[in-house]
Structures are given as structure tokens and as C-alpha cells.
Structure 1
Amino acid sequence: MTLEALLSPRLSLCNLAGSSKKKLLLNIAQAIAEQYPQLDSDTVFNQLIARERLGSTGIGEGVAIPHCRLPGCEHPIGVLCTTEPAVDFDAADRQPVDLLFALLVPEDSEQEHLDTLAQIAGLFSDSRVREKLRAAESGDELYGLAIDSAAAA
């Protein structure tokens, strides 16, 4: 799945508020529910938190990829956001997170889920991409930089 099919400008959020991992995930869940009214923000939040309890989705270098399979989700949904300030996400490298890509996939999409996670992790493995995304000043700019970076990868 292409990043362009997964992400939208409305779910590309600069400087998302949140003083903790839970607060950030709650704000992400609420943003998703605003764009997809058929999805309940509490359910999205609870699924993301349940996944975090299995182990942090902080992958290092200030990046986290919170993700879950979600009942009622008809197609993969991505949310890209930056935070200010960075938040402790229990990442293995102990660096606080300021760049997140949340991923929701339909409950029965196990292989697509894994493939999409690998694609996102690959994109964030490039330090130049991370720095470009962190420098974005608006959701539209964040979206454009992510799409351009994915196309160039």
C-alpha cells in the first residue's frame, strides 16, 4: 500500500498536544474519529493502548509507530504527527518521541499490517527524512514531505 493511499492531509498533524504517551494516543484516536465517524475514539484509543502494553512502539531516534488491528476498520488508516515537546514513549534507546505514525488496519489484515509497518519503519530509518518531517510547519507541509519522501525511497 502506498503512503499516499494510507495518509491524508487532514490526518497529518503538526505539534500535536500531549504531555504523555497516553495523552498523545488519545488525541490521535480523537483525530481519527473526527475523520472517520464510524470509528469510536474510545475503541481506537483502547486498541492502541492494548498494543502498547505488549511493548513500546517507540522504534528509536525519536520515532514511534503506534499501531493496531481494529474491528470495524474497513481499510488501513494512517496518522502522521509531530509533537512539541517530545514525549517519553518507553523506546528502547530511551529517546523521547517527537515523530509518530499511527497505523490502524482492519482486524483480518495481518500480512498487510506487517508489510505496511515495514514500509513506514523503512521510511523513518532515513535521518534526512526524519529531519524534514520534524521541520514541517503545517499539516499540509508534513503530508507533502512524507509523500515526496516515500516516492523517492
Structure 2
Amino acid sequence: MDLADLIDPNRVVFGARANNKEQLLRDLAARAASQLNLDAQTISSAVLAREELGSTGLGEGFALPHARIPGLDHFFGMFARLNKPIHFDSIDGKPVDLVFLLLIPATAGGEHLAALAAVSRNLRDRDFAAKLRKAASAAALCSLICDPQHSR
């Protein structure tokens, strides 16, 4: 599974703003809900419940919040680059500025592990993350995230 399989241009947020992790996750859940025609509270509750099990801040300024969502029939990814990094309880203690929200169908089997691995492999790559941080526009950011030639 490639990163580009999980996302499209309408799901890239350039210059997101949030004061804290909960605010960011609720905002991303609301954005996802509007695109999926699902209840925002259902999505945010699932994502926040998963976060309570342990932070999805994977280090080096990257977080991969994810959750299984009832009623979702396909994997759904949304990427956000924050204007200002926020505290995320990351494993390395560093603030987060790159966030990939991954919503997983409640009925998904082991394929969710391939999706998580695809996102993690790309965004934990320091060169790729540096390019994402340097992108000067939403279009440039989208080109990096959505193009299968850029993701691996």
C-alpha cells in the first residue's frame, strides 16, 4: 500500500492551526466527517479514545492518530502540516507539526497494519519530512503527499 492510496488533494491541510492535541484532533475529525458524511463526534471520540491508550506521536515532529470507525467502508487519510508545532506527548517529547490522520473501517482485518506502515515509513523518513516542512504552498504539499512517485 502506498501513501497516495490513502489520500487525495481534498484531504491535505496546509497551515493548520491548533493550540493543543485535542483541539487538533477534533478539527481533523470534523473535516473528515464532512467529507465522509459521518458524525464528527463519532470520529473524534474514536480518535481520542485511541489516543488515551498511548500517544500516536511517533517522534521527530510526526504523529499518526488513527482509529477504527463504525460505518466507514474504506481507509481514509488526511494530512495536516501545522503552522506552529504543538505538544503531542510524543515518544521523544518533541512537538508535532506533521500529522496524518488515518481512519480505518471497523471491519478491516490486518490490512490496517499495511496502511499504518505505509504512512509511518514515509513520514518518518527525514528527507521526505524535510520536503513537507519546506513546501511553500498547499499545491506543493499536495504534490508531495498525493503523488505516488514521491511516496514509497
Q: Which TM-score band (shorter chain)? A: over 0.9
Hey, what's the Cα distance between the residues in 1 that align with 2:65 and 2:4? 19
Structure 1 residue 81: Cα displacement = 0.7
- What secondary structure does 2:74 align onto? coil
For 1:122-147, what per-residue CA distance to the aligned partner results, in whole angstroms no more than 9, with x for missing partners? Answer: 11121110011112233332121122
**What residue number does 2:95 align with?**
96
**What residue number does 2:144 align with?**
145
- TM-score (normalizing by structure 2): 0.93
Hey, what's the Cα distance between the residues in 1 that align with 2:79 and 2:26? 14
Counting helix residues as a fraction of each chain, which structure ranks higher?
Answer: 1
C-alpha contact 2:65 2:102 (8 A) present in aligned 1: yes
1:64 has 2:63 as partner: yes
Structure 1 residue 109: Cα displacement = 1.0
Letter in 2 for 1:20: N
Which structure 1 segments of 5+ residues have no match? none
CA pair 63-43 structure 1, distance change in 2 beyond 3 A: same
Which structure 2 segments of 5+ residues have no match? none
- What secondary structure does 1:25 align onto? helix
Hey, what's the Cα distance between the residues in 2 that align with 1:5 and 1:124? 15
Superposition CA RMSD, Å? 1.2
* Runs of at least 4 residues off by over 6 Å: none
**In the comparison of the two structures, how many residue pairs are matched?**
150
Hey, what's the Cα distance between the residues in 1 that align with 2:26 and 2:138? 19
Structure 1 residue 115: Cα displacement = 1.1
**What residue number does 1:85 align with?**
84
- Say which is worse superposed, 54-63 or 115-124, in terms of deviation: 115-124
Question: What does 1:1-153 correspond to in 2, within 5 Å?
Answer: 1-37=1-37, 39-146=38-145, 147=147, 148-150=149-151, 153=152
Letter in 1 for 2:108: S
Structure 1 residue 21: Cα displacement = 0.2
